[in-house]
Every structure is written in structure tokens, then in C-alpha cells.
Amino acid sequence: MNDFTLEQLDTIKNTSKNLSEDPSGLYPSVEYQGNYNLNKAAIGEERNELKFFTQAEQVDFDLTPSSNSIYGLNQVKQTATGHALEFDDTPGNQRILIKHNTGAGLELKQDGSIVISTKNSRLDVCGGSHDVIVEGDATMVYKSNLDLFVKGEFNIDCLDFNVNVRGDKTENTNGSVTETVSGGVISTVTGNVSEFVTENKTSTILGSETSYVKGAYSVNVQGSVNLAAEEDLFASSGKIMNLAANNTTISANDMTVQGGAGTIGGTSMLFSGKGAVFEAGVTAPTFHGDLDGTATTSTVTQSQTYGEASQGTAGSITDTATPTITKPTATKVLSYLTKAAGGVKKIVIDKGNDLKKFIDPRDDYGGLL
């Protein structure tokens, strides 16, 4: 009796005519007809090998041929359809082989390595914990897509972490992102960069920051802008510099305003200062104060005549009062610069380097981290 159906027997049956001893017609198989019936793999005439259905240049399969088996040292069980089970004790070729007739299977090699080959899918199911320990290097090659689903935390602890993406990269984070870098950061982008922040953004730099822009540079702020420097602040333009505001205050202990041409003033502008030198005429309704020079008049020499002089008498003056001006004295300017909200702001960042030492304590530990 056997466990094969008639349909299966018709599929695997060979040309054996030994039906009197083997009614199934399976034995002896074609390659053993007219020959001894010792398994050829057991006596070393053939060798059962796994079949690798795909390979990758990144992985060394180590397919160096091993020595054939010695009769009596290799126990072979081979079925009618080609499944094989081997326990080989041949010196230099000790191995255990479980092989499917498609070439798939498992082999424990001479050096204790394990090789698994499957023709189609492979499924590993673990109801508990799953730990993998690899002493040497490891390589994983997926020629199609790879999906990794982790319901809990995904933790990686490594020396160097290198990622090479040949296409696009997309990251979606529903929570916050915390990144700590103890060394430097170099970012090179061949193309455009866009950043969108719906709330506030704070940048704290305990060293220097430099930006180089070859093209245009534009900053547009709907709210307020506060730009303060503890030391020098320079702004220059090779072409046009335009400053515009509804209310502008410029204060300094020592100020120079100069230009090759242009206009300073306006209908309601007031001027107060120590002196003035003009290269052209000055027009004003009324002048208050002493004059040093020569005035032109029809009847009086070396004197100033007001109004329409007649017969040597001085005319009347139409007095236009001097407007009230709060003079910006040196004391007032100094007080404004040091005490007023619009004065010079004192900028102190990380006094004593406490924040820097908290982030990077290497200076306190001889450069060690």
C-alpha cells in the first residue's frame, strides 16, 4: 500500500517495468535501472545542493564546491519526487541538508553556517520575543518594496548612520521632533528649499552665523522686527538703500550725516544745532540774532535795514517767532541711548557659558563627551 492517489502516480511514475516487486512503478527510478540501488549522493557520485533563485552583488554566497561524500558516512533519505534529507559526516564536508525537490531548503554547512533558500515566499511567525545577535557584518538586500510596521518605539543605537536615497524621501511626524548633534552639520541641496512653520520659531546660536546669498535676499514680516547688536552693526548697499517709516528716530552720541547731493528737511521739520555752513542762499521769514557781514541798503552803510527803508530810516520788522524746539543736548541723547526703550539694547547671551556647557560639556572633561 502507498499514500499516492492514482493521479499522483501517473504524474511521478517512470518507465520501470518492475511492477511485480513495486506495483506503484516508482522504483527503481530511471537513473537506477540496471544499476545498484545505493543512493548516488550517499556514495559520492552526485551531490545534493540548494538552489538559489536570486542573488545580489552585495552578498557573497560562498559557493565554493565541497568534497563529495564518502559511502558509509552520509545518511541520505530521498523520496520519489526528489525531496532529500542528508546527515553527512564526511571529513571536510560535514553538513545537514533538508532539500525540497524545487531546490529550496536548509543547509547546515561544514563551518556551522546555516543557509536557507526558498523559491517563493518565506513567513516567520513569532508569538513572543524575537532576538537576533550577529557578531560580524550583516547585509539585507530587498529587490522590491520593504514595509516596516512598529506599533511601539523604534530605537536605533549605532556608531555611524548612513542613508542613501536614490529617489524621493518623505517623512511624516505626528508628534514633536528632537535632534541633538554633538558634531557639525553639513547640508547640501541641489534645488530649492521651502520651510513652513505655523507657530513660533526660535534659533539660539552660541557662536557666529554667516549667510552668503548670491541672488536676491528678501525678508517680509507682518509683525514687528527687532534687530539689536551688542557691538558693531553695518549696513551698506552698492546701489539704492531706502528706509521708510511713519515715525523714525535716529540717535547717536556722535553722528555724521553726509551726501554728495540730496535734500534734508520737510514742511514741519525743526533743526537745532551748533552751526551751519551753506554754499548757497538761505531763505527764511525772519532771522533772530546777530549778523556779521555787510548788508545792502540805499541810505545806510554797514547796517541792516528792515522793511522798506525811506529817507534813511529803518523799516519795521514782521516778527515770525522761532518755534519751540527741545534741543537734543549731549546729556539728553546719552540718557535716551542708555535708558529709553528706543535706545541701545544690552545684549547678553549665555553669560558664563552655562547653557553651552550644559549642551556640550567637553571643555570641562578634557574634550571627552
**DSSP per-residue codes, 309-342:** -BTTB-------PPPP-----HHHHHHHHHHSTT
Strand arrangement, sheet containing 105-108: 74-78, 84-88, 95-99, 105-108, 114-117
Among 91, 109, 140, the domain boundary falls at: 140
User: By residue range, what is the domain housing residue 346?
Assistant: 330-365
pLDDT at residue number 327? 84
Is residue 165 included in any domain, yes or no? no
Q: Report residue 106 as a C-alpha cell.
A: 536548509
Q: Which residues of the chain have pLDDT under 50?
A: 1, 15, 309
CATH number of the domain bearing residue 82: 3.10.450.190
Note the pLDDT tens digit of each residue in 228-237.
Answer: 998 999 998 8
Is residue 153 included in any domain, yes or no? no
Is residue 310 included in any domain, yes or no? no
pLDDT at residue number 64? 66
Residue in the block written with cell 510596521: 149
pTM, to two decimals: 0.63
Among 85, 111, 140, the domain boundary falls at: 140
- The answer to whether 73 and 88 are in contact (CB under 8 A) is yes
The rounded distance, in Å, linking the Cα atoms of 29 and 277 is 123
Is residue 213 included in any domain, yes or no? no
pLDDT at residue number 132? 92
pLDDT at residue number 170? 93
pLDDT at residue number 340? 86
Is residue 145 included in any domain, yes or no? no
pLDDT at residue number 1? 43
Is residue 114 included in any domain, yes or no? yes
pLDDT at residue number 172? 92
Is residue 146 included in any domain, yes or no? no
Is residue 51 included in any domain, yes or no? yes
Domain tally for the chain? 2
Query: Which DSSP state fits 358?
Result: H
